[in-house]
Chain A
Amino acid sequence: MSEQERIITYADAGVEALREEMRRDGSIVYIGQGIGSRGGNFRQTKGLWQEFGDHRLRDTGICELGATGVAIGAAMAGTRTIVDEVFLDFALEAITQIIQQAANISYMSNGKIKAPVLIRGAMGSVRSAGAHHSHTFYNWFANTPGLKVVLPATPYDLKGLFKSSLREPGPVVFIEHKSLYNLKGVVPEKEYTIPLGEARIIREGKDLTIVAMSRMVDLAIKAAAALEQEGISAEVIDPRTIVPLDRERITDSIKKTGKLVVIDESPSSCSFAAELLAIAVEDCFNEMQVIPKRICSLSVPNPFSPVLENLMIPSVERVVREIHAMMKNVRRKS
């Protein structure tokens, strides 16, 4: 197997990015619960403690508020820090520190103080984790000036985006998806980074544009493959970072296809999908051939029952069905 074709998991891609960056930048300190000798609840820090030790892999008790505040304060004083909330849900314990302190500090200090802190958390539903462990509220962070928000969908993107995020001057909310940790993909061993704010066109198409993030990318790809069998050519785009957003690449695609579908694991109301529809209206109104569509989770807390949870989250079948309905309403080009 050539080096370019090396295949590793999403979790291991993150570990590799961390190892490289912690070797490169001796000031990086990683704070979180179970991230030391245990190697992380999701194996997301496996082997790092053995190399970097207690001083740089700082295990904590269960106290996200304090740990996040400590990570932000250390960053304000000049140490690049990572704070691992483990489950993104647990960031809610620390939300005041993230929104009020980390996000505001650069502006409030007139740019004199930066907080180079990476806030890491795994989101999304996986195997009936239930309402307390399945949230996908990345859109909340995106609504806060001062935070960058990163949502890698593949091992390749995870590594490249992680490395870039660890070189950002200010706070980054880095959100993985729990159900992707075992996903395998090609990750080159050679050094690379992916700039924040650069969307990826996963497959080109001419009939409609599907935008999806994180785990929903996989659904989009599968739906596009199914549609192709029917002669519908879908372009699939993953923004990868929603702040900053690659507005141009997305709107160029919408202008080309005249149709937009957004797949979003969050509930639709005030979601990132809603933001994309607004952007489509603002930038692509004249080119749009049909009312744009958002395919989101139902607006209910994550149910425990597998039957109900599967109903709540977008599925490939639902995506295809919604797109069929949309295609029937396309206006003829005048």
Chain B
Amino acid sequence: MSGKTLEVEHKLLLDYYKKMLELRVFEVKVQELYRNGRLPGFVHLYVGEEAVAVGVCSNLKTEDLVFSTHRGHGHALAKGVPGRVVLAELWGKVTGSSGGRGGSMHMYAPEYGFMGTNGIVGAPIPLATGGGLTAKLRKQGHVVVSFFGEGAVNSGSFHEAVNFGAVWNLPVIYVCENNLYATEMAFARATKNTSVASRAASYGMKGVEVDGQDVMAVHEAAAEAIRTARADGGPTLIECKTYRYVGHHEGDPGTDYRTREEVQVWKLKDPVKRARKQLLEFGVEESKLQAVDEEVEVWIEEAVQFAEGSSEPLPESVSEHVY
């Protein structure tokens, strides 16, 4: 693993474990708040896919940009947007990342290099590619990550965008989170070629497939792609095999189109538990991990207090920022 000492690797894994746990705990809290009718709108939770966001974003600097999806809370957190700011946005509060104007699928925090979740499947891929054009023109070695689900890869947006990324040799990392279902549609029913990574060849681009439940594996794959992109070596398409334990959105039980057994099998590969187990095997003490778990619990409770206690947007501000 790229010549890092074991000690360094353990420390990194501990960092990623904590971050993944934050993503998990955050979404579980959002689920609870939403089910209790305390959050407006619609939410698509990231539970089960944490290793992808954390594995990729752990390679990024603040100036690097991330363009995310409808299932994007995890990407925002992994890119460094504070949990309380994300939660306040989900609550429609003025302290949210978009001051309550955006919500789950339209939250933006450019101050952290987070260029938005997105309500339209496929649409952020051309946008990210454009971000890559700006990065390339500025010649500062910045990169852009485009997250999308496998549900986006049959769209024209995907095709046109990655084609641009390749032909213009842009510093973009296209990260497909293949969780096997687009809403309820199984990928194998939607396309004949179910290897997203293999599609990269059609565009003259490098494509790799990685176990999306293994945070170190994702980190390493992304690290190589990002090194290439920073050195003006062009884009890479990374397919992360992953799974969401929850339904497509809150309210969808997620069991009409897949078996409970399938969900259970994937839960055995849970990225958070897996990292925890590895850390214990490496000799990290249980008490140390418990301390991390408690820190994260405190963190989420503070976020809830902050968001809940924040003000609603002012009615007289309704027409601000249109143009």
8 Å CB interface, A67-102 against B: 67-79, 81, 96-97, 100-101
Q: Interface digits, A255-278 against B, CB 8 Å rule (1 contact, 0 not)?
A: 000000000000000000000000
Pairwise interchain contact B127-A76, C-beta atoms closer than 8 A: yes
When A66-B163, A146-B322 are in contact, do A109 and B116 touch as well, CB less than 8 Å?
Answer: yes
When distances are taken between beta carbons in the complex, the residues of chain B under 8 Å from A145 are: 322
The yes or no answer to A65 lying at the interface (CB within 8 A) is yes
Pairwise interchain contact B161-A69, C-beta atoms closer than 8 A: yes
Number of inter-chain CB pairs below 8 Å: 140
Pairwise interchain contact B156-A65, C-beta atoms closer than 8 A: yes
The yes or no answer to B20 lying at the interface (CB within 8 A) is no
Cβ distance B275 to chain A, nearest Cβ, rounded Å? 33
Neighbour of B134 across the interface among A65, A69, A74, CB < 8 A: A74
Pairwise interchain contact B101-A110, C-beta atoms closer than 8 A: yes
Pairwise interchain contact B323-A66, C-beta atoms closer than 8 A: no
Pairwise interchain contact B164-A146, C-beta atoms closer than 8 A: no
The yes or no answer to B91 lying at the interface (CB within 8 A) is no
The yes or no answer to B212 lying at the interface (CB within 8 A) is no
Distance between Cα atoms of A107 and B317 in the complex (Å)? 11
Pairwise interchain contact B126-A97, C-beta atoms closer than 8 A: yes
Tell me which of B106-114, B221-229, B245-253, B256-264 binds A. B106-114
8 Å CB interface, B137-174 against A: 137-138, 144, 156-157, 159-161, 163-164, 168
Cβ distance B206 to chain A, nearest Cβ, rounded Å? 20
Neighbour of A70 across the interface among B108, B130, B159, B321, CB < 8 A: B130
When A76-B130, A110-B99 are in contact, do A70 and B137 touch as well, CB less than 8 Å?
Answer: no
The yes or no answer to B119 lying at the interface (CB within 8 A) is yes
Pairwise interchain contact A69-B163, C-beta atoms closer than 8 A: no
Pairwise interchain contact A96-B123, C-beta atoms closer than 8 A: yes
Distance between Cα atoms of A73 and B67 in the complex (Å)? 9
The yes or no answer to B207 lying at the interface (CB within 8 A) is no
When A74-B130, A109-B98 are in contact, do A66 and B116 touch as well, CB less than 8 Å?
Answer: no
When distances are taken between beta carbons in the complex, the residues of chain B under 8 Å from A72 are: 126-127, 130
Pairwise interchain contact A74-B131, C-beta atoms closer than 8 A: yes
Pairwise interchain contact A108-B110, C-beta atoms closer than 8 A: no
Of A55, A63, A66, A79, chain B has the most CB atoms within 10 Å of the CB of: A66
When A108-B102, A112-B108 are in contact, do A73 and B126 touch as well, CB less than 8 Å?
Answer: yes
Which residue of the partner chain A has the closest CB to B135? Answer: A77
Pairwise interchain contact A100-B119, C-beta atoms closer than 8 A: yes
8 Å CB interface, B307-323 against A: 320-323
Distance between Cα atoms of A110 and B120 in the complex (Å)? 19
When distances are taken between beta carbons in the complex, the residues of chain B under 8 Å from A29 are: 133, 137
Distance between Cα atoms of A104 and B109 in the complex (Å)? 15
Pairwise interchain contact B108-A63, C-beta atoms closer than 8 A: no
Pairwise interchain contact A111-B321, C-beta atoms closer than 8 A: yes
Interface residues on chain A, number (Cβ under 8 Å): 42
Pairwise interchain contact A106-B98, C-beta atoms closer than 8 A: no
When distances are taken between beta carbons in the complex, the residues of chain B under 8 Å from A101 are: 118, 120, 123, 127
Neighbour of A66 across the interface among B131, B137, B157, CB < 8 A: B157
**Can you list 27 A-B pairs with a CB-CB distance of less than 8 A?**
A29-B133, A60-B164, A65-B160, A66-B126, A67-B164, A69-B127, A69-B129, A69-B130, A70-B126, A70-B130, A73-B67, A73-B126, A73-B131, A73-B134, A74-B134, A77-B144, A78-B138, A96-B120, A100-B119, A101-B123, A104-B106, A107-B322, A108-B106, A108-B116, A110-B108, A112-B98, A112-B110
When distances are taken between beta carbons in the complex, the residues of chain A under 8 Å from B134 are: 73-74, 77-79
Distance between Cα atoms of A290 and B305 in the complex (Å)? 62
When distances are taken between beta carbons in the complex, the residues of chain A under 8 Å from B215 are: none
The yes or no answer to B237 lying at the interface (CB within 8 A) is no
When distances are taken between beta carbons in the complex, the residues of chain A under 8 Å from B87 are: none
Of B106, B115, B126, B157, chain A has the most CB atoms within 10 Å of the CB of: B126
Pairwise interchain contact A108-B67, C-beta atoms closer than 8 A: no
Pairwise interchain contact A79-B137, C-beta atoms closer than 8 A: yes
Which residue of the partner chain B has the closest CB to A169? Answer: B323
The yes or no answer to A113 lying at the interface (CB within 8 A) is yes
Pairwise interchain contact B115-A77, C-beta atoms closer than 8 A: yes
8 Å CB interface, B251-308 against A: none
The yes or no answer to A120 lying at the interface (CB within 8 A) is no
When distances are taken between beta carbons in the complex, the residues of chain B under 8 Å from A58 are: 168
The yes or no answer to A148 lying at the interface (CB within 8 A) is yes
Pairwise interchain contact A68-B126, C-beta atoms closer than 8 A: yes
8 Å CB interface, A17-66 against B: 27, 29, 55, 58, 60-61, 63, 65-66
